[in-house]
Amino acid sequence: MTTTRKISLHDLSKLDAAQRSQLLKRSEASIAPILDKVKPIIEAVKNEGDVALARFAREFDKSPVNPDSIAATPGDFDKALVNLDQEVLKALEFAVESIRKFHQDQKPEEMWLHEIRPGAFAGDRFIAIPSVACYVPRGKGSFPSVVMMTAIPAVVAGVKEVCIVTPPGPDGKIDDATLVAARLIGVDRVYKCGGAQAVAAVAYGTQTVQKCVKIVGPGSPWVVAAKHLLADVIDPGVPAGPSESIILCDETADGRLAALDLLIESEHGPDSSAFIVTNSPKVAADAIAAIPGFLDKMGEQRAGFASTVLGGTNGGVVLTQSFDEAVAFVNDFAPEHLQILSDVPFEHLGKIVNAGEILLGNHTPCTLGNFVLGPNAVLPTNGQAKTASPLSVFDYMKRSSVGYVTAAGYPPLAQKARILATYEGFVGHANAVSEMRDGILGK
């Protein structure tokens, strides 16, 4: 039996500027109140190492972890492989293959060098960073998908030392699928630590946990706060906030399909953002009518999360006067996930300039992108898609510019560089490309 649930309908034509602006806001929690609580955790891990990690696992995770059992053992990996359902194993193998293929194709050549001017060559050389920690959360479930999305591009990029940090369960163990996914990828360092203490552990290193130069992956406000406080010790990567999505629909879309897909990201938590954006009153009405029935087919917790999102200002249906107005709202919002439901999705693609990922057509729901399609599902949130990009092999590589000028190519470049250096008042610069150099070189 379908339960009556409130689904917000936001008619942009009836909203003032402040109300429209409210729709663009995320419910991301402020880390300010947490910072003072995180500082002593960081200091404890820095000073006590594994002892502090074990204590915090017992205190925060209610998990019986000892200082000598923080690292997953080869036996833990073996047991996880035996325990894991074969269908889940095959799905993980399928996903790993797709995600690896995508990131292999994404990886740049080690170096490119082009002739910019006759005899003058310039380009880029790419080198993998030496180490990275992949943070895999566990607060609202187990997420082997995060293992795959964070660790696979690191391995493909050529990072020598890749580790995974993840909160232990109440049994003191790591989720089976997390361990199996790590082994499939080729990562054998998995540590039982989560929250702020995990960030501190990889920032400073402990007796067991390796020190890393970077940490990636989504986490709780405590994780975000620790990354903020340790940003001068470890590269915190791009912060990932609560999940958000927009289902953009033209008149050809089926509102029922839009409703089904709207629940993908809205079930992550009550702090998610999820909208159907359409210029079609029929699509809007059909979606609103279908959502309660789909909610009834979900578990109580996830349906509760989605209902909270879709009944407030962070979710529901946004109705516009025209499709161009719908596109404008999408670009203003800059969603983490964007689906375009249409019979002609590629005709709309060129209009989208701000989105973490763009999934086209009726057969490309976010579920595929999150698990098996290949592109990375760690995406910029909170409007950062206006300037930031999905996690990629480039996040695990650094780039050095390379230049080489031949004797024949040098004179015209030197002359122009000398003029500009003199104009800017840099005498040393100018002298280095003057007759002084020619004299040293015997010209």
Which single residue is written with the structure tokens 């003029």? 419
CA distance 320 to 374: 33
240 three-state secondary structure? coil
Catalytic choice (267, 337, 348, 357): 337
What is the length of the chain? 443
With beta carbons less than 8 A apart as the criterion, state whether 269 and 243 touch. yes
- Backbone φ and ψ for 164, nearest 5 degrees, come out as -125, 130
Comparing CA positions, the residue from 166, 174, 168, 159 lying closest to residue 235 is 159
CA distance 39 to 29: 18
Listed in sequence order, the residues at least 6 apart from 418 whose beta carbon sits closer than 8 Å to its beta carbon are: 430, 433, 434
With beta carbons less than 8 A apart as the criterion, state whether 50 and 206 touch. yes
Tell me how crowded residue 17 is: count the other CB atoms within 10 A of its CB: 7
Question: Is there a catalytic annotation at residue 114?
Answer: no
With beta carbons less than 8 A apart as the criterion, state whether 123 and 113 touch. yes
Give how far Cα 293 sits from Cα of 247, 270, 289, 297, 341, Å: 18, 19, 8, 7, 20
Sign of the CA dihedral with 126 first, then 127, 129, and 134 last? positive
* The token pair that represents 35 in the structure block: 């910072």
Strand arrangement, sheet containing 120-128: 111-117, 120-128, 397-405
Catalytic choice (265, 267, 336, 357): 336
Question: Is there a catalytic annotation at residue 348?
Answer: no
Q: How is residue 72 annotated by DSSP?
A: P
Report CA Rg, the chain: 26
Tell me how crowded residue 168 is: count the other CB atoms within 10 A of its CB: 25
Residues that are catalytic: 336-337
